[in-house]
Amino acid sequence: MNLTRTLRALLLLLLVGGCARAPDEQRLRDTIAAMETALESGETGGFMEHVGADFSGQRDGIDQRQLRALLVAQTLRHENVSVLTGPLEVKLFKDRATVKLRVLATGGRWLPESGRQFDIESHWRIEDGEWICFRAEWQ
């Protein structure tokens, strides 16, 4: 009987643990992976879902509308966009985060016609339970 109670308690813990939300860092990493997939699929809207209305980039030189236009132009210019990200350096601050990463973006038909490497530092906040990028700088 004691074994039965122990098994029930273990099963309950597994069920409750399975329903728990992923840790913030993993959710943020998943969001960035979804943005990468959206870019490679030519779905600029899928990428922009994770960018705040008040987005500011390149020292306030690019807003959300301009970022969308830049991404649309790149997806139209390049037949196949490929994005390869290096390791993410994530720093969490309660409901905010900073992510640094290196990205290699290429575009072309069968072989990359062009490619460029970017060092990106992005700043994030949680809005309605989702990670949203509100600022980014890249070189």
Q: pLDDT class for 80, splitting at 50, 70, 90?
A: confident
Output the pTM of the full model: 0.79
pLDDT at 65 over 90: yes
Residue 118 and residue 111 in contact, taking contact as beta carbons nearer than 8 Å: no
CATH architecture of 23-138: Roll (3.10)
Average pLDDT of the chain, as a whole number: 85
Question: What is the chain's alpha carbon radius of gyration, rounded to the nearest angstrom?
Answer: 19
Q: pLDDT class for 112, splitting at 50, 70, 90?
A: low
pLDDT at 85 over 80: yes
Torsional sign, CA 115, 33, 67, 122: negative
User: What residues contact 106, with CB distance under 8 A and at least 6 apart?
Assistant: 78, 81, 82, 84, 112, 113, 114, 115, 116
**3-state DSSP call for residue 60?**
coil
What amino acid occupies position 5?
Answer: R
How far, in Å, CA of 96 to CA of 38, rounded? 23
Q: pLDDT class for 79, splitting at 50, 70, 90?
A: confident
